[in-house]
Structure 1
Amino acid sequence: MDGLKALNRQQFGTYAEAYVQSPDHAWSESLDRLVELADPQPHWEVLDVATGGGHTALALAPRVRRVIATDLAPAMVQAAARHATERGVTNVTFAVADAEALPFPDASFDLVTCRVAPHHFPDVARFVREAVRVVRPGGLVAVIDNVVPEDRAVAEYVNAFEKVHDPSHHWAYSLDDWTRFFQDAGLTVEWVETFQKERDLETWARRSGASNLTLATLRQLVLEAPPAVQAWLKPRAEAGHIRFTLTEGLLMGRRPAAHDD
């Protein structure tokens, strides 16, 4: 899977500034909900894994003591750090790190977050175990990511569609999959919620560097999808543009307190 990680570094390094500036990444209903549910406290130390443009880290920073924001792509880290500096944020530290091998001691953080990134990870279960390792007993792990339905055929089609859009995409999982990842790693699942996010096909594709041929392929895949896939992606034409819907899942789990272990 080292090849996939190299592809991730290349993809997000090449288009780092586009992800920093992307309105779709800068804000979402699910991000607001994550902050609300986590209820971060002023003394907290937070880790944001695969930070991308740093938007989750920056949303949490005013409420906590410190945020460490990591990403696999050095150029992405540099772009996010510049963005934080431009906004005058001083309590976020950016670092290059692998989500599946976090370079932090056990029980270092009160909250570990990861937003719209795990579908790029080769081994999501390993990432969740690492998140649990570095969070303190009683602390929270919160993940937001694209999800797919339980129907295997639909899941495979949607993932293939995503991979045409971005070759560094690995696999988007179902909510049941995510619940198992959390529980298998020892987390008590406290919250599961889904959100619909509408996308303009061309804007979504171009942000990842899609060529005209790739855009045409994506258009065909979404408009000619089987009925069950169309029911999930909800493609429609509006004012000459093709729009569709992705589904995000938000999961929050708590590492049992020491006396609960």
Structure 2
Amino acid sequence: MKEGFDFASLNYLNSSDHVSGADLSFIKSYFKDKRFGLILDIATAAGHCSKVFESKLKVGIDLSLNMLKTARSEFGIIPVCATSTQIPFLDQTFDLVSCRIAMHHFENPGRFFSESNRVLKDRGILVLVDSIVDVEDGYLNTIEYFRDNTHIRSLTVKEVINYANNFRLLNYVQTKRKHTFYDWAKRLNADDEKVKQIETKFINLPENIKQELDVCMENGKVISYTDKKGIFIFEKYDIRA
């Protein structure tokens, strides 16, 4: 699993989907007057999410050593090789935990939420950004898996909220993200044949799903598609206390 991401670390550093976006702009604005002590970015990849937070120290965990090296050199993150389900830190260590465009790779989202809750201090913040599905659920998840077999499943808003039952939801915003097809399809260094197969799957989608995903085509070629991103801001809060 991690080998594909090791080879693609520079692709992720320069990826238009990761460098910027409405999600990063929203988060930066939301926390513009807040400075944290210690933050943890889960599945940090090249480290783009961490840059929007003001903090004394930033730790990033990822399975890919090359991703961690990139995050350290580009954003000054303290790198730790670890998974989202076994975070190697003591209880109540962090003021904020973030995870951007990664949870769809997690085999056990419930464990991710549980571990995030454990390492957060009381009233600590969890910022989660991920792809959100709706009527296109089965279609888009199938294409995503074909492109990248580490893709497990993008969730619905309801499913995310249900998994996060040990948090209080402070805010939720949904945005749309337009993906340049060839940048997206080749991010994990797919060859031309694989890219063509991915493109064919988009072309063969039912018309209502093409409209839902705003699939843009020119001269029989897929130029772009658009999906939904959910921005969740949770707080660790025990209502029984």
TM-score by length of 1: 0.86
SS of 1:144's partner is strand
The within-5 A match list for 1:141-152 is 141-149=126-134, 151=135
Q: 1-side partners of 2:237 and 2:7: how far apart?
A: 40
- Please state how far the C-alpha of 1:163 moved relative to its aligned partner: 1.0
In terms of fraction of residues, the more helix-rich structure is 1
> What is the aligned partner in structure 2 of residue 250 from structure 1?
231
Q: 2-side partners of 1:227 and 1:176: how far apart?
A: 26
Letter in 2 for 1:77: L
Check whether the contact 2:61–2:79 (CA below 8 A) recurs between aligned residues. yes
Check whether the contact 1:11–1:168 (CA below 8 A) recurs between aligned residues. no
Indicate whether 1:158 and 2:140 are aligned: yes
- Please state how far the C-alpha of 1:19 moved relative to its aligned partner: 0.7
Match of 1:207 among 187, 201, 224: 187
How much identity, in percent, do the aligned residues show? 22
Q: 2-side partners of 1:254 and 1:224: how far apart?
A: 42
Match of 2:24 among 31, 34, 45: 31
- Please state how far the C-alpha of 1:58 moved relative to its aligned partner: 2.2
> What is the aligned partner in structure 1 of residue 153 from structure 2?
171
Q: 2-side partners of 1:219 and 1:15: how far apart?
A: 20
- Please state how far the C-alpha of 1:138 moved relative to its aligned partner: 0.7
Q: 2-side partners of 1:133 and 1:35: how far apart?
A: 25
Check whether the contact 2:202–2:222 (CA below 8 A) recurs between aligned residues. no
Structure 1 range deviating more: 100-109 or 206-215: 206-215
SS of 1:68's partner is strand
Please provide the CA RMSD for this pair: 1.8
From the superposition, tell whether residues 182 and 39 of structure 1 become closer, same or farther in structure 2 (CA, over 3 Å).
Answer: farther
Indicate whether 1:68 and 2:59 are aligned: yes
Deviations 1:3-51 (A, max 9, x none): xxxx1x1121111111112232111110121233245633421111100
Q: 2-side partners of 1:139 and 1:40: how far apart?
A: 16
Letter in 2 for 1:243: S
SS of 1:136's partner is strand
> What is the aligned partner in structure 2 of residue 236 from structure 1?
216
Check whether the contact 1:164–1:214 (CA below 8 A) recurs between aligned residues. no
The within-5 A match list for 1:24-173 is 24-39=17-32, 41-60=34-53, 63-84=54-75, 89=76, 92-149=77-134, 151=135, 154-173=136-155
From the superposition, tell whether residues 260 and 31 of structure 1 become closer, same or farther in structure 2 (CA, over 3 Å).
Answer: farther
Gap regions ≥5 residues in structure 2: none
Check whether the contact 1:38–1:140 (CA below 8 A) recurs between aligned residues. no
Matched residue count: 240
> What is the aligned partner in structure 2 of residue 181 from structure 1?
163
Check whether the contact 1:40–1:64 (CA below 8 A) recurs between aligned residues. no
Runs (4 or more) in structure 1 with deviation over 4 Å come to: 238-241
